[in-house]
Amino acid sequence: MIALLQRVSQASVHTEGELVAQIGQGLLLLWCAEAGDTEAVADKMLAKILKLRIFADPGGKMNLSVQDVAGGLLVVSQFTLAADVSGGNRPSFGAAAAPEVGLRLYDYFVQRAAQLHRPVQTGRFAADMQVSLVNDGPVTVPIRMTGPL
């Protein structure tokens, strides 16, 4: 499972000209399930994301989590994070989970996130989306989780 976290002061998702999600301060998560991923891997990743200390404390040190600052989560599915470009100029996406597995794990991840944190917003799985953000810092953190807990 791969996520690219971006600390944002605001972020939004539009699909077909319609605003489908937006947050203020928080994390934009570009999220991808890979072949072999499970709910246990999703739980492990979510726990890491919610506790990751990448927000500034009053002294300016990155010492607070998204939960500490009551920030939003905007979770956007993005299978292209699984791209393999080692074989040529056209990316291969063979490492990405099959769409039905990806959707199941995405729904699970979002549901668990909403149980553990508020607010949680989402893009639309497998849709053509336009994502806008103001990256705060900028702070961008890639995370890859694999295997059992």
Give the DSSP H or E segment for 138: strand 129-144
DSSP class of residue 17? T
Catalytic annotation present for 125: no
Q: Identify whether 80 is a catalytic site residue.
A: yes
Predicted confidence at residue 149, as pLDDT, reads: 45
- What are the tens digits of pLDDT across the range 93-103? 999 999 999 99
The pLDDT of residue 25 is 98
Over residues 6-55, the pLDDT tens digits come to: 999 999 999 999 999 999 999 999 999 999 999 999 999 999 999 999 99
6, 22, 25, 80: the catalytic one is 80
Give me the residue label for tokens 């989402």. Answer: 122
**148: pLDDT confidence band, cut at 50, 70 and 90?**
low
Domain spans of the chain? Answer: 2-140
CATH code reported for the domain at 2-140: 3.50.80.10
Instruction: In whole angstroms, give the CA distance from residue 39 to residue 109.
Output: 8
Q: Choose the catalytic residue: 6, 79, 121, 122.
A: 79
pLDDT band at 146 (very low <50, low <70, confident <90, very high): confident
